[in-house]
Amino acid sequence: MRAVTARRDSGTARLSRFRSLILQEKLLTTSTREFEMMKTVTLLVASCALLLLALPVQAEEASVDLGRTLFNDPGLGASKNDKSCNTCHADGKGMEKADARADLAALINKCIKGPLQGEGISEDSVAMESLKLYIKSLAK
């Protein structure tokens, strides 16, 4: 009789261990699912934020005015000194024939990296397009 009770007890113990295992498993899957959901939500929020950040940049159009501003900006292209393009090319000095140069973007970056000690700017950026427009407007 004692043996039967003992066996039943160990059966119950095993059952409750089994139950707690199932419970644990359930908790684990729930938290994994929650984690996946959090990941998706975070990704969604991050992409929305990026989109919002990118919108004003995309909306900005290249213009002679922006080009003039950048031409006079000593911080252009992460410049490490206080020189701007206008320091050497005041009133369009040296820009007289620049509008005819096919490699204008490369020349602009050469002066950003050289005299301005900067890092150069992307050739298809609004900033580059604007600088080109401004420099072309200086041509004589």
Binding residues for ligand HEC, rule: CB under 6 A, are 76, 83, 85, 87-89, 94, 97-98, 101, 104, 107-108, 111-112, 115-116, 131, 135
* Minimum distance, C-beta of residue 120 to ligand HEC, in the bound complex (Å): 9
Q: With respect to ligand HEC, which residue has the nearer C-beta, 33 or 110?
A: 110
* Minimum distance, C-beta of residue 51 to ligand HEC, in the bound complex (Å): 31
Q: Which of 74, 138, 139 is nearest to 112 (CA)?
A: 74
Q: With respect to ligand HEC, which residue has the nearer C-beta, 32 or 87?
A: 87
* Minimum distance, C-beta of residue 103 to ligand HEC, in the bound complex (Å): 9
Sign of the CA dihedral running 67, 69, 71, 75: negative
CA distance 3 to 15: 18
The residue whose two tokens read 């995309």 is 58
CA distance 132 to 108: 8
* Minimum distance, C-beta of residue 92 to ligand HEC, in the bound complex (Å): 10
The residue whose two tokens read 């301005």 is 116
Q: With respect to ligand HEC, which residue has the nearer C-beta, 61 or 82?
A: 82
Q: With respect to ligand HEC, which residue has the nearer C-beta, 116 or 126?
A: 116
How many Cα atoms occupy the beta-carbon half-sphere of 17 within 13 Å? 6
Q: Token digits for 6?
A: 């003992």
